[in-house]
Structure 1
Amino acid sequence: MQTFLNKRLFKMKTFNFFAKMLFVMSAVVLSACSDNGDDNSGGGGGTTEQILFGDGTQIGNGDQEFTIKESHTLKKGTYVLKGWVYVDAGATLTIEPGTIIKGDKATKAALIVQRGGKIMAEGSATAPIIFTSNQAKGSRKPGDWGGVILLGKAKNNGNVMTIEGGPNADHGGSDDTDNSGVLSYVRIEFAGYPFKEDQEINGLTLGSVGSGTKLDHIQVSYSNDDSYEWFGGTVSAKYLVAYHGWDDDFDTDNGFSGKLQFLLSVRHPKIADYSLSNGFESDNNKDGVATTPFTSAVFSNVTFIGPIGQDASFANTTQYITGGDMFPDNGSKLGTFQAAMHIRRNSRLNCFNSVAVGFPVGLILDNEKGTTQTAATDGNLKLQNLYFAGMTILGSDINKNYLDQLSTDGKTISDAGKPSFSSTFFRLTANNNKVYDNISDLKLKQPNSLIASPSYAPSADSPLLGAAAFTDAALQSGFDKVSYVGAFASDAAADNWLAGWTNFDPQNTTY
Structure 2
Amino acid sequence: MKKMLTKMKLLAAAFALISVISGCNKNDDPSPVGPVVPGDAKVWSGTSIGDGSAEFEIKGKYVIKKGVYSLKGWVYITDGSELYIEPGTIIKGDKATKAALIVERGAKLFAEGTSTQPIVFTSAQAPGSRKPGDWGGLVILGKAKNNMGDMSIEGGLRSKHGGTNDNDNSGIIRYVRVEFAGYPFATDQEINGITLGSVGSGTTFDHVQVSYSNDDSYEWFGGSVNGKYLVAYHGWDDDFDTDNGFSGKMQFLLGVRNPKIADQSVSNGFESDNNASGSSAEPFTSAVFSNVTFIGPIGQDGNFVNTTAYIDGGGLNPNNGSRLGQYQAAMQIRRNSHLNVFNTVATGYPVGIMVENDKGSATQAAATAGNLTVQNVVFAGMSILGSDKNKTWKDALSTDGTAIDETKPSFSNGYFSRANGGNSNLTNIADLKLKQPSSVASTPNYGPSTGSPLVGKSNLFTPALLQNTFFDKVDYIGAFKSDADADNWMKGWTNFDPQNTIY
Q: TM-score, normalised by structure 1?
A: 0.90
Query: 1:107/1:149 Cα in 2 relative to 1: closer, same or farther (>3 Å)?
Result: same
Residue 400 of structure 2 corresponds to 409
* 2:110 is the counterpart of 1:108: no
Residue 69 of structure 1 corresponds to 59
5 Å matches for 1:152-191?
152-191=142-181
Residue 39 of structure 2 corresponds to 37
Q: State the Cα RMSD in Å.
A: 1.3
Task: Please tell me whether the aligned partners of residues 44 and 65 of structure 2 are also in contact (alpha carbons under 8 angstroms).
Answer: no
* 2:490 is the counterpart of 1:498: yes
CA drift at 1:199? 1.1
CA drift at 1:492? 1.7
Residue 346 of structure 1 corresponds to 336
Task: Please tell me whether the aligned partners of residues 90 and 119 of structure 2 are also in contact (alpha carbons under 8 angstroms).
Answer: yes
Write the deviation string for residues 236-283 of structure 1: whole angstroms up to 9, x where unpaired.
Answer: 000000000000000000000000000000000000000000000000
Write the deviation string for residues 268-306 of structure 1: whole angstroms up to 9, x where unpaired.
Answer: 000000000000000000011101000000000000000
5 Å matches for 1:322-341?
322-341=312-331
* 2:91 is the counterpart of 1:89: no
- Give 3-state SS (helix, strand or coil) of 2:365's partner: helix
- Give 3-state SS (helix, strand or coil) of 1:494's partner: helix
Residue 501 of structure 2 corresponds to 509
Write the deviation string for residues 365-398 of structure 1: whole angstroms up to 9, x where unpaired.
Answer: 1101210000000000000000000000000000
What is the identity percentage for the equivalent residue pairs of Structure 1 and Structure 2? 67
Amino acid paired to 2:39? G
Residue 438 of structure 2 corresponds to 448
Aligned with 1:482 (options 458, 474, 482): 474
Amino acid paired to 2:40? D
Write the deviation string for residues 152-208 of structure 1: whole angstroms up to 9, x where unpaired.
Answer: 000000011010011100000000000000000000000001111211100000000
- Give 3-state SS (helix, strand or coil) of 2:431's partner: helix
Amino acid paired to 2:134? D
Segments of 5+ residues of structure 1 without an aligned counterpart are 1-33, 41-49
* 2:398 is the counterpart of 1:396: no
How many pairs align?
Answer: 465
CA drift at 1:467? 2.5
Residue 139 of structure 2 corresponds to 149
CA drift at 1:494? 2.1
Residue 15 of structure 2 corresponds to none
Query: 1:402/1:139 Cα in 2 relative to 1: closer, same or farther (>3 Å)?
Result: same
Task: Please tell me whether the aligned partners of residues 51 and 68 of structure 1 are also in contact (alpha carbons under 8 angstroms).
Answer: no
Whole-angstrom distance in 1 between the partners of 2:61 and 2:420: 52
Whole-angstrom distance in 1 between the partners of 2:448 and 2:483: 8
CA drift at 1:485? 0.1
Aligned with 1:289 (options 279, 286, 290): 279
- Give 3-state SS (helix, strand or coil) of 1:195's partner: strand
Q: TM-score, normalised by structure 2?
A: 0.91
- Give 3-state SS (helix, strand or coil) of 1:441's partner: helix
Amino acid paired to 1:64? A
Query: 1:427/1:509 Cα in 2 relative to 1: closer, same or farther (>3 Å)?
Result: same
Whole-angstrom distance in 2 between the partners of 1:35 and 1:172: 27
Task: Please tell me whether the aligned partners of residues 115 and 152 of structure 1 are also in contact (alpha carbons under 8 angstroms).
Answer: yes
Task: Please tell me whether the aligned partners of residues 35 and 71 of structure 1 are also in contact (alpha carbons under 8 angstroms).
Answer: no
Residue 27 of structure 1 corresponds to none
- Runs of 4 or more above 3 Å deviation: 451-454
Aligned with 1:99 (options 89, 93, 101): 89
Amino acid paired to 1:484? Y
Whole-angstrom distance in 2 between the partners of 1:237 and 1:439: 28
Task: Please tell me whether the aligned partners of residues 51 and 60 of structure 1 are also in contact (alpha carbons under 8 angstroms).
Answer: no
Amino acid paired to 2:401? G
Segments of 5+ residues of structure 2 without an aligned counterpart are 1-35
* 2:375 is the counterpart of 1:373: no
CA drift at 1:38? 2.6
Whole-angstrom distance in 2 between the partners of 1:344 and 1:39: 45
Query: 1:37/1:451 Cα in 2 relative to 1: closer, same or farther (>3 Å)?
Result: closer
* 2:386 is the counterpart of 1:382: no
* 2:254 is the counterpart of 1:252: no
Whole-angstrom distance in 1 between the partners of 2:294 and 2:390: 19
* 2:427 is the counterpart of 1:437: yes
Residue 349 of structure 2 corresponds to 359
Whole-angstrom distance in 2 between the partners of 1:491 and 1:357: 17
